[in-house]
Amino acid sequence: MKNTVPVILLLAFALIHSCKNEVYQWRGDLRDGVYQETDLLNEWPEEGPELLWISKGLGRGYAAPVITEDQIFVNGEQEGNSYLFAFDMEGQLLWRSPNGEEFLGEGFSSTYPGARSTPTVMGKLVYTTSGRGRIACFNKSTGAEKWSSNIVDDLGGEVGYFGYSESVAVDKNSVYCFPGGQEANMAALDRLTGKTVWTSELQRDTFAYGSPVPVDLPSRKILIHTSRYSIFTVDRESGELLGTYPLEGYEYDGEHCNTPVYNNGYIYFVANDIESQGAMKLKLSEDGENITEVWRHQGILNNFGGLLVVNNHLLTTVKGNWLLSLEPESGSISDSIKVATGSLAYADKKIICYGNNGEVNLIAYGEGKPEITGKLKIKEGSGHHFSYPVVAAGIMYIRRGDALMAFKIK
């Protein structure tokens, strides 16, 4: 009998951990582009890091992959249709599941066709979105569709001129999305059935092209998101609008495409409108109901390359091929380095910038001035170099249109 209690405790511990729902999502654990990696290469070889494998056949698109412990998921487009692809860790295709029509655009937007959003994985389920706004849930192992919902047909939303780009947020109960409709401006769907939990009119503003950021505050669970004219917070349980901060100077061809970053009580954002606030730091109250400006730097603009917050410094790339670091208290430029403007990730005191020109730069950013310690030119794949780099288990994943590549960086 003496061994009974320890055995029971061990079984209970094992059961808890076997049922644990890990979330794998857009830009890492906190949707901030920071990856918890260690012992990565400090310098890359002259020819760049080792290419482990390349998988082709994804079709057009800019959607970054999401990496779990044993599978890789990424959205792609083939013959005008949206597909969710699942690969093993060696880049071998496991299954491919359709998700309705993909965004192809018209006029100017037709020069940017294809998949946009990153899947979200929780437990045994994968949640993903097509560029036409079809949100669907798939079995992680088999690719079988469990449920779907359409932001236009089911929620009264709209697809923007450049497509629906949101990577949905998920918690243990709900899937959160921004249809952008007048009545269902934002919505929560039951995670297991897809049925509507709540809809909220919010400010009846149309959506931007970023993604919601879940934050657990001491008193409530919230979402931070952007619309065309504001940054706002929403109560995840009720859909109640909590706080707003107006975004100024909206231009039709300067849409807000970045996802806000939340860090230690502050919201950081970079807009792309010439008359906007530019880069900004905002204070969020402990109850999520008040958003107040700490500083803005109007001369710093970024369209969709994202931002990082490292040691309380905001980092982003700007036109003219510069990576800038902004000082925490005033927002003034504290550091800069000449680097191809592009999308950012951070891991192990290193920044990875995948430039819009196809050049990937490794930048040491720990102590002292930032320094480029590695370069890689992406020649495989097709189309624009717009996808975000992803780091997991010592491997850097780069997607360029039709191709997904894995590089050893540890």
Q: pLDDT per residue over 88-117, tens digit each? A: 999 999 999 999 999 999 999 999 999 999
Least confident of 3-7, 109-113, 158-162, 301-305: 3-7
Q: What are phi and psi for residue 264, nearest 5 degrees?
A: 55, 45
Which pLDDT band, with edges at 50, 70 and 90, does 16 fall under? very low
| Tokens standing for residue 38 | 């260690």
Q: What is the pLDDT, as a whole number, of residue 355?
A: 98
Residue 15 lies in a domain: no
Least confident of 45-49, 110-114, 162-166, 365-369: 365-369
Residue 364 lies in a domain: yes
Q: With CA atoms as reference, report the closest residue to 165 among 229, 232, 102.
A: 102
Contact 313, 328 (CB under 8 A): yes
The whole-angstrom separation of Cα 363 and Cα 375 is: 9
pLDDT tens digit sequence for 51-71: 999 999 999 999 999 999 999
Residue 2 lies in a domain: no
Kind of pairing, strands 342-347 and 169-170?
A: unpaired
The whole-angstrom separation of Cα 302 and Cα 210 is: 13
The whole-angstrom separation of Cα 352 and Cα 361 is: 6
Q: With CA atoms as reference, report the closest residue to 401 among 102, 71, 142, 160.
A: 102
Residue 334 lies in a domain: yes
Q: What is the pLDDT, as a whole number, of residue 253?
A: 61
- Whether the per-residue pLDDT at 319 is higher than 60: the answer is yes
The whole-angstrom separation of Cα 375 and Cα 17 is: 40
- Whether the per-residue pLDDT at 197 is higher than 50: the answer is yes
Contact 305, 329 (CB under 8 A): no
Greatest alpha-carbon span in the chain: 76
Residue 7 lies in a domain: no
DSSP bridge partners of 338: 322
Alpha-carbon distances of 396 from 30, 236, 257, 405, rounded to whole Å: 18, 33, 23, 8
The whole-angstrom separation of Cα 362 and Cα 339 is: 10
- Whether the per-residue pLDDT at 10 is higher than 60: the answer is no
pLDDT tens digit sequence for 219-270: 999 999 999 999 999 999 999 999 999 998 877 766 789 999 999 999 999 9
Distance separating the N- and C-terminal Cα atoms of the chain: 48
Residue 5 lies in a domain: no
Determine the structural domain holding residue 369 and report its residue range. 21-28+36-408
Residue 16 lies in a domain: no
- Whether the per-residue pLDDT at 272 is higher than 60: the answer is yes
The whole-angstrom separation of Cα 59 and Cα 56 is: 8
Residue 101 lies in a domain: yes
Least confident of 45-49, 249-253, 334-338: 249-253
Q: Please count the structural domains in the chain.
A: 1
Contact 122, 66 (CB under 8 A): no
Can you tell me the mean pLDDT for 386-399? 98
Task: Specify burial of residue 20 (Cβ count, 10 A radius: 0-12, 13-18, 19+).
Answer: exposed
The whole-angstrom separation of Cα 105 and Cα 290 is: 37
Q: What is the CATH number of the domain that holds 97?
A: 2.130.10.10
